[in-house]
Amino acid sequence: MDAPSLIDTHCHLDAGPFADEPVAELLARAAAAGVGCLVTIGTDLDSSRAAVGLAEAHAPVFATVGVDPSEAADYGPATRAALRDLAAHPKVLAIGEIGLDYHWMVSPPEQQALVFRDQLALAGELDLPVVIHCREAHADTERILRAWAAERYAA
């Protein structure tokens, strides 16, 4: 019996320790470890574009597009429009990484919440799932998600 194929549902192939490593080598190591599919995550417009590019160039890679809470200050209508365009790519699986982060507080909580709600609305419009980032903001994240779900799934 073959070993099961694993899916890495949240990686950042273009950032951190992987930024300078050839993607083909990363994918070869992943395959050798039984990982048959990887979802690389967008955290701002540039990384979302990079995620889509990686997904387009490499068969086992899929992408998400979104703006995480630390980048909320740079979010606006042009960013939303660009995310919408990127999300149309057939290898984009979700909107994310989106949410709230009260640990680093790079952006004010009110701005984070506005951006979070807007990206949830975008996900709803596009009928895509979301990838959530939450750090030290669990109650507010849950409140926003419950309100979104109640509105989205109201009978």
Strand positions, DSSP E, the chain: 6-11, 35-40, 61-65, 92-101, 130-135
CA angle 100, 74, 109 (to 5 degrees): 30
The pLDDT, as a whole number, for residue 78 is 98
Per the rule left: phi > 0, alpha: psi between -120 and 50, beta: everything else, 34 is left
Which residues of the chain, if any, have pLDDT below 50?
Answer: none
How far, in Å, CA of 139 to CA of 141, rounded?
5
What pLDDT, on a 0 to 100 scale, did the predictor assign at position 67? 98
What pLDDT was estimated at residue 4? 67
For residue 84, the model assigns a pLDDT of: 98
Using a cut of 0.85, tell me whether the model's pTM lies above it: yes
Type of residue numbered 99: G
Over residues 89-106, the pLDDT tens digits come to: 999 999 999 999 999 999
Stated length of the chain? 155
Other CB atoms within 10 Å distance of the CB of residue 85: 12
pLDDT confidence of residue 43: 97
Rg (CA), the chain: 16
Cα–Cα distance measured from residue 7 to residue 36, given in angstroms and rounded to the nearest whole number: 6
DSSP designation for 9: E
Give the whole-angstrom CA distance, residue 149 versus residue 155.
11
Which token pair is 121? 């609305």
End-to-end, the C-alpha distance of the chain in Å comes to 46
